[in-house]
Amino acid sequence: GCADPNYPKWYWGSPAAHACFEGDVEALKLLHKYGCDLEQRFEWLLQPAPLFSLAHAAAFNGNLPILEYLVPRLRPSSIFQVDGDGSNALLTALSSSRDQATAVYLLELGLDAFAKNNLGQSALSQAVEVLPEVAAKMLESKSRFEYRWWGNDLYWYSLEGVFLPLSAKSRPLVFNSTDGATLTLEQLILETGAKDLLSTPILRSVLQRKWRNFGSKVYQERVLQYVALFGALLLNSLSADVVSAQFVASTAVLSGFWGFFVDPE
């Protein structure tokens, strides 16, 4: 029993799992030579099902050489499998090791960067928080330059996994951050300070459309409200008689516009 390279089955402490966690390629090669199942799945922490793979274990600690050894020896579908929390190896790498080379390697293999796991997180949302450079690559994959038309660059966009599908009340897709907050992609970018991502073609296009369709109108309304609020405050401060019509009118205007101005919507 102890000489079996697959013993104990389903347990995260198996020899192959240890080799992948530790990044020991030579040990993994030796285990594979003597019959180790490279597609084994096993338990991990408190996940509800034993679905953690050797690829997940390698990604967990950012062991790129292990992944490079595993990928040619696995069935093509195996590297795309998810664990008990619904995370693929790319999301595991971004959530744990945060190793850029590992994340880029898995992304270039074609692992889904936009599917959310059971915790409401995706590889994209995690990359925004920890590796904005990788998030930029993900967002760039959602836009494709088509051609130039009258001096303008025309792009094809896919909003799936970025803003779509819409959540409740037709609001944009939301993600759970590592701090537990529920945020849209734009809110997550602003929260983490990764503002360079707003200049990617897909986000730049969406923001421009928002500005044209309703953002400019909201901005103008806010400016007018602020001017009216300031004017009413000025009249109120210049009125010496608290029972004068000027004071009463300016106070009423001040109260009304203040309510509009602080309205979060």
Instruction: Please count the CA atoms within 13 angstroms of the CA of 37 that sit on its side-chain side.
Output: 13
Question: What residues does 164 pair with on adjacent strands?
Answer: 160
In this model, does residue 177 exceed pLDDT 60? yes
- Give the pLDDT score at 151: 79
Taking the model in full, what pTM does it have? Answer: 0.81
pLDDT tops 90 at residue 156: no
Q: Which domains does the chain have, with CATH numbers?
A: 1-112 (1.25.40.20), 214-261 (no CATH)
Q: How confident is the model at residue 25 (pLDDT cuts 50, 70, 90)?
A: very high
Longest Cα–Cα distance in the chain = 97
